[in-house]
Amino acid sequence: MRRDRVAEALLSLVAPADHAASTVGDLMEEADARGRLWFWQSVVRVALSLLARDLLAAPLAMVAASAFTWFLYMGLCLVLGLGGYVVVTLIWGGAYILAHHTGLELLVDLLRLRFDWPPIPAWMTYAIQAVVLFAIAPLQIGRSSAPHFRGHELSLVLVMLLIWSAMAVFAPIVGIGIAATPRTMPVIATFVLLGILMERRRAASTS
Amino acid sequence: MAATPALGEFEQVVLLAILRLGDDAYGVTIRREIATCTEREPAPGALYTTLDRLEEKGLVRSTHGDPTPARGGRAKRYFMVTASGVRAVARAQRAYQRLLKGLVLPGGVYA
């Protein structure tokens, strides 16, 4: 990816896409005389300035949106976690039954609606939880919030980092609430950002 | 008539630079004009946030020009001062003039 496209992608997280493009164009025009280091310094400084301004412009709205997405995240984790667990249990049990039963035993068990299979290994349960809590749910949060926060995405993720961490400390929900701790938030925030970028790419390809 | 918004020092500088540039006021030329006239180069971050703020206040208006190859196919964002912006900068400058009146400063006496 060319440097100007990376810079434009970064700035479009803190400004409307057309403003980000024209700003990068301005900086490219000047970078011919000033060099690559100046270009990147300027990109970062512009991004930080716009980010700070964005955060101060409507802090309460950002906090409210972050708190709302936290509840959305919790709901998603619950639904996807339970759904994932049921699906894996059925696959695990089905595989076990098919591997350990003859055709006749299977028919008898089916008629009695009674199957016995060993419990799912603990590592598999943890893997399902980890994938849902740290990847799928945050990706979905990013994708669903992206259209509502065009040009303000970085502010949202930053406020999310703070608010979700605070909510995890002050309002823990056993099992799910402990996922979004201050220690895990960087991972979750990264996936939220990835979800935002995925949604943006999808929107760009369809428009 | 709507109240004229108060202006910060840098906002006045940016508005005056845009007025001086006329139809050719975009990021690069505004920065150059400010650097030439004030002998201080504005930080890019400060300039773009100020331009956005001025636009939100309704003191400047921006339009996009045609994309140019020299800018990687990106359009210039041209700025022009609105009537409200002209009033705001004139009012701020008059306030400065009143404050200066009668003062003896290096470079001259302000009558």
Q: What is the pLDDT of residues A1-60, one digit of tens each?
A: 577 889 998 999 999 888 999 999 999 998 888 889 999 999 999 999 999 988 888 888
Check whether B111 has a pLDDT greater than 50: yes
Nearest to B28 among A19, A26, A47 (CB): A26
Task: Note whether A56 contacts B: Cβ–Cβ < 8 A.
Answer: no
What is the 3-class SS of chain A, one letter each residue?
CCHHHHHHHHHCCCCCHHHHHHHHHHHHHHHHHHCHHHHHHHHHHHHHHHHHHHHHHCHHHHHHHHHHHHHHHHHHHHHHHHHHHHHHHHHHHHHHHHHHCCHHHHHHHHHHCCCCCCCCCHHHHHHHHHHHHHHHHHHHHHHHHHHHCCCCHHHHHHHHHHHHHHHHHHCCCCCCHHHCCCCCHHHHHHHHHHHHHHHHHHHHHHC
Contact present, A8 and A21 (Cβ < 8 Å): yes
Contact present, A97 and A115 (Cβ < 8 Å): yes
Q: Which of A63-77, A131-145, A163-177, B78-92 has the highest mean pLDDT?
A: B78-92
pLDDT digits (tens, 9 = 90+) for A170-193: 665 544 555 667 778 888 889 999
Check whether A117 has a pLDDT greater than 80: no
Contact present, B21 and B38 (Cβ < 8 Å): no
The mean pLDDT value for B38-51 works out to 93
Instruction: List CB contacts (< 8 A) between B74 and chain A.
Output: 4, 8, 21-22, 24-25, 28
The model's pTM:
0.77
Alpha-carbon span B76 to A18, nearest angstrom = 10
Q: Which of A29, A44, A45, A152 to mutate to test the interface with B (most CBs of B within 10 A)?
A: A29
Nearest CA in chain A to B28: A26
Nearest to B45 among A2, A28, A48 (CB): A48
**B52–A53 C-beta distance less than 8 A:** yes
**A29–B71 C-beta distance less than 8 A:** yes
Instruction: List CB contacts (< 8 A) between A26 and chain B.
Output: 26-28, 44, 71, 76-77
> Percent of chain B having pLDDT more than 90?
71
pLDDT digits (tens, 9 = 90+) for A129-158: 888 888 999 999 999 988 888 888 888 888
How many beta-carbon pairs below 8 A join chains A and B? 73
Alpha-carbon span A100 to A112, nearest angstrom = 17
ipTM of this model? 0.87
